[in-house]
Structure 1
Amino acid sequence: MKLNSVAHKEGYTWIRQGIWLFKQNPLGFLMLVFMYVFVAQLAVLVPVIGVFAVLLLTPTLSVGFMTACRQAIQKERIRPTVYLIALQSTPVIRKRILQLGLVYSALILALSFILSMLVDFELLLPLMTGDKPITPEAVREIYLILFFGGLLYVPVAMLMWFSPVLIAWAEMSVPQALFSSAIACWANRGAFFLYIAIWGAILIAIPLTIGSILDALDLGQAASFIIAPLSMAGLTVMHCSFFATWKACFAEKESATLIA
């Protein structure tokens, strides 16, 4: 497994390749993302255990989606059971991918604890209960959560970005996969910065702009019917582009190529 160093502009190319990959099987990819969102929402309804289960299985689901990307390139049918492919692998891979899930759960728990010390969540209760008007202090806390949460999640994302597939496809140990993932992200930080900036504009700025325009036209009720499908499609293309980052950062011994 060879680590590649790419130019900054590759961040934009990854998104183009993600769009191309999505076009190979849009219904299959949309099905997978919808399944994940639906099951995750149901799991969250189960106190503590549900959230832990989602975090624990996140690396497993990541391997499943990346495998679906391979299948789409090879013109194979995408099935919902692709999500289980890591658990159906060898006992060693299954053990390591679940261990990685435990590591991810611990990292998110630590991140949440640190964030709770930086932000006053009590000010956000009006937003969650709807009993009181939203105060300027609550809005300020929201921005602080987004800022500090994003900042704290960067090292977690670097560790987890490639580690699931490095375990499943390169048969690395958990520590080796985490280290290799972080090094790959750091070595290509320019491309990743451009990549994340573009996705931020697509998934955040564009929906907010559309919502503002519809509100100005007194069509606010129609916003959800327009923004929700666009956001789901954008989220799906973003997941497809994860495979493009893998192909660019790690040389693979396979004939499948991406076109952009």
Structure 2
Amino acid sequence: MKLNTVHPKEGYTWIRQGIWLFKQNPIGFLMLVFMYIFAAQLAVLIPVIGMFAVLLVTPTLSVGFMTACRLAIQKERIRPSVYLSALRSTPLVRKRILQLGLIYAALILVLSFILSLLVDFELLIPLMTGDKTMTPEMVRQIYLILFFGGLLYVPVAMLMWFSPVLVAWEDMPVPQALFSSVIACWTNRGAFFLYLAIWGAVLIAIPLTIGLILDSLDIGQAASFIVAPISMAGLTVMHCSFFATWKACFAEKESAVLIA
């Protein structure tokens, strides 16, 4: 395995490859994303412990989805049990992947604390409980959350982007995997910038704009029927494109080929 340097325009190619990969087994990939969202929504109903559990298993689920991408390329069936692939590995890999989960949970906790100092979350409580309609100030706070949250999450994303797969597939120790992930993201920052900018528009800017337009037309109730399917499909394709970033940034021994 070696680190590759790619051209910035590859960020767009990764998305095209993600779309191609999604087409190989759309039902299987949608099932995996739906399972994750459903389980996460149930987990957060349990105060503190539920959210911690979701963060703890995130690296494990990441390896599972990447394994599903391998299976789709090989025309094999995707089963829900693929999410447990990392835990079914050696005891050392299980230990390391859970250590990554603890690190990720700690980083998100620190990020949330810093974000709470920058944004007025109390202003958004009536909106989340349905007691109040959206005001311009609420919209401003939402954009602030997205901006500062995204900015603060960048270093976390760089640490966690490749590290679960490096631990599970390349048998790397946790510190080396975290370091290698950061170096890979930084080395190919041009491609990642384009890649994330496109996904930011697809998953954040476009749904928010559609929602605001429908609200201004007094048909805001229809937003969920339009935005939800777009967001679900976009989120699934984005997860598929993670495999494309892996294939581009690290030379693998496997012969699986992605078609752009």
Aligned to 2:170: 170
Cα deviation for residue 30 of structure 1 reads: 0.4
Q: Partner letter of residue 144 of structure 1?
A: L
Q: Deviations over 1:102-121 (max 9, x none)?
A: 00000001111111222232
Residue 231 of structure 1: CA displacement?
1.2
Structure 1: tracts of 5 or more residues without a match: none
Displacement of 1:213: 5.2
> How far apart are residue 207 of structure 1 and its match?
2.4
2-side partners of 1:5 and 1:28: how far apart? 31
- How far did residue 125 of structure 1 move? 2.7
Alignment-derived partner of residue 31 in structure 1 = 31
- Alpha-carbon deviation of 1:214? 4.7
Letter of the structure 2 residue corresponding to residue 128 of structure 1: M
For 1:111, the equivalent position in structure 2 comes to 111
- 2:73 corresponds in structure 1 to 73
Alignment of 1:9-158 (within 5 A): 9-132=9-132, 136-158=136-158
Task: Give unpaired runs (5+ residues) of structure 2.
Answer: none
State the shift of 1:205 in Å: 2.7
Alignment of 1:174-193 (within 5 A): 174-193=174-193
Query: Following the alignment from structure 1 to structure 2, what is the Cα–Cα distance between the partners of residues 19 and 134?
Result: 34
One-letter amino acid of the counterpart of residue 115, structure 2: L
Counterparts in 2 of 1:115 and 1:60: CA distance versus 1, 3 Å: same
C-alpha displacement at 1:257, in angstroms? 0.6
Distance 1:46 1:151 in 2: 28
Q: CA 1:128 to 1:209, structure 2 compared with 1: closer, same or farther past 3 Å?
A: closer
CA distance in structure 2 between the partners assigned to 1:238 and 1:161 by the alignment: 13
Give the letter for the 2:90 counterpart: T
Deviation of the 1:122 alpha carbon: 2.5
Structure 1 counterpart of 2:196, one-letter code: I
Q: For structure 1, which segment, 209-218 or 61-70, has the greater mean C-alpha deviation from structure 2 after superposition? A: 209-218
Check 1:72–1:120 CA distance in 2 against 1; reply closer, same or farther (3 A cut). Answer: same
TM-score, structure 2 length as denominator? 0.94
TM-score (norm 1): 0.94
Q: Secondary structure at the match of 1:62?
A: helix
